[in-house]
Chain A
Amino acid sequence: MRILKELIKGIYRENPVFRLMLGLCPVLAVSSAVSNAIGMGVSVIFVLLCSNLLVSLVRPLVPDKIRIPVFIMIIATFVTIVDLVMHGFFPALHKSLGLFIPLIVVNCIILGRAEAFASRQPMVSSLADGLGMGIGFTMALMIIATFREILGNGTWLGLPVAGPGFEPVLLMILSPGAFLIIGFLMAFLNWLDNRMACERTANK
């Protein structure tokens, strides 16, 4: 049951993007299309799982003072693996994500979870945490990308979803749109939290 809790928390209550505000750079850059969002999400889940696993296994053997460089090397290795494999087998995605694939190594989520969680918890909890955070990250990415792609391009995953008379709001696909959408989404989640808290106290 505890494993399940570790998994679920990364999705809403401790969503890395909306709550912990980690890993923002790729979120804004990659969320212009839902296909990119999914590609990036899957890559981050892979790296999170592998690095959390290896970090929790290796931690007892590594002296405290050099743990950060060791974690970084572990994460960088998996990121390079993702980079090479994507380049060979998914070249279109590799080109779209571009610079942000190697930048996964500095995605605060991964180093953050390695340091805060995986280095202190047993293997299975670490895996669950990694999976939960990764899924939360991917969902946040997909939600933002959905707004940006539909409003800014009239498509979802490349398929047209808006009617023929729809004039896309170009702003949404460009940089300002990313900031605005995430700002409003965060405000909405805050509002939702306040409502739930009020209802809870009202019900007492």
Chain B
Amino acid sequence: MEPQTLFGIAVGTIFITNFVLFRFLGLCPYIGVSKQLDSALGMGMAVIFVMSLASAATWIIYHYFLVPESSNLFFQIFMKSRGNPPDLTYLRTITFILVIATLVQFVEMVIQKMSPELYQSLGIYLPLITTNCAVLGVSILNINAGYSFIQSLVNGFFSGIGFTLALVLMAGLREKLEMADLPGAMKGAPIAFIMAGCMSLAFLGFSGLKIG
């Protein structure tokens, strides 16, 4: 099911297995930040950046520190002469999330320096990228699919683009929706979810497509 060519990975993760509309990853910011187009776009950019870096960093950590293979650096430094490389894959979750938390901290500092307006408008949602399921999700998905370093990086980057696409589409719709006359109970989150459902339905049309 996982496409192997870089083109296949890229297009696949934007349309066929879109992170938000198909895999249900990255929903909290999706509902929270999608009220305005600019903040949605800014959030999307930050997430693309974090997802790409996270894919790269977690891949390296997994393949050089956790897997029970001879490439394992712990094995090379400490145990070369005796025994088998240790299988530390069960530490995957905890190391990945720590790497991601660190990355987000770093990105926060960079954005604060480079663009204080963006920093202000993103507000609380910037540190919340740490708990964005999409970031941890793509790291684990890369491992499960057995991707190489480049494939993981591409998957991370384009998954972020897929997330941003869904986010921006939703923000555009919600801006228009502000003017609409809705029944009271529907206002806010309920109609956002129903619209997400319609978008998901539309994207379902892509499913089953095989491209590489």
Contact = CB atoms under 8 A, between A and B. Distances in A.
B25 interface: yes
Given A25-B133, A179-B200, A180-B194, A186 B189 contact: yes
Interface string A92-132: 00000001001101111001000000000000000000000
Interface string B166-204: 000000000000000001111101111110111011001
Interface in B21-59: 21-28, 31-32
A80 interface: yes
B86 to A, nearest CB: 16
A79 B91 CA distance: 11
B31 A24 contact: yes
A4 interface: no
Contacts of B90: 80, 83-84
A112 B189 CA distance: 20
A138 B191 CA distance: 23
A190 B184 contact: yes
Given A76-B97, A190-B184, A194-B184, A176 B190 contact: no
A179 B197 contact: yes
Nearest to A175: B200
- Interface-central residue, A25, A84, A99, A188, by most chain B CB under 10 Å: A25
Contacts of A177: 197
Contacts of A99: 137, 140-141, 144
A10 to B, nearest CB: 18
A25 B92 contact: no
Contact of B97 (A72, A84, A183, A186): A72
B93 A79 contact: yes
A141 interface: no
A161 interface: no
B101 A105 contact: no
A174 B197 CA distance: 10
Contact of B133 (A76, A80, A106, A184): A106
Contacts of B191: 183, 187
Interface residues of A, number: 42
Contacts of A29: 23-24
A3 B196 CA distance: 38
Given A25-B133, A194-B185, A106 B97 contact: yes
A29 B24 CA distance: 6
Interface in A162-203: 171, 174-180, 182-184, 186-188, 190-191, 194
Contact of A175 (B21, B31, B94, B132): B21
Given A77-B94, A175-B24, A186 B193 contact: yes
A73 interface: yes
A62 interface: no
Interface string A49-92: 00000000000000000001100110011011001100000000
Nearest to A182: B193
Contacts of A73: 94, 98
Given A21-B28, A175-B24, A176-B204, A68 B101 contact: yes
Interface of A: 21-22, 24-26, 28-29, 68-69, 72-73, 76-77, 79-80, 83-84, 99, 102-103, 105-108, 111, 171, 174-180, 182-184, 186-188, 190-191, 194
18 contacts: A25-B27, A29-B23, A29-B24, A69-B98, A72-B97, A76-B98, A80-B90, A102-B93, A103-B25, A106-B131, A108-B28, A177-B197, A180-B193, A180-B194, A183-B194, A186-B190, A190-B184, A191-B185
Interface of B: 21-28, 31-32, 90-94, 97-98, 101, 128, 130-133, 135-137, 140-141, 144, 183-187, 189-194, 196-198, 200-201, 204
Closest 8 CB pairs of A and B: A183-B193, A179-B197, A187-B190, A191-B185, A183-B194, A76-B94, A180-B197, A190-B185
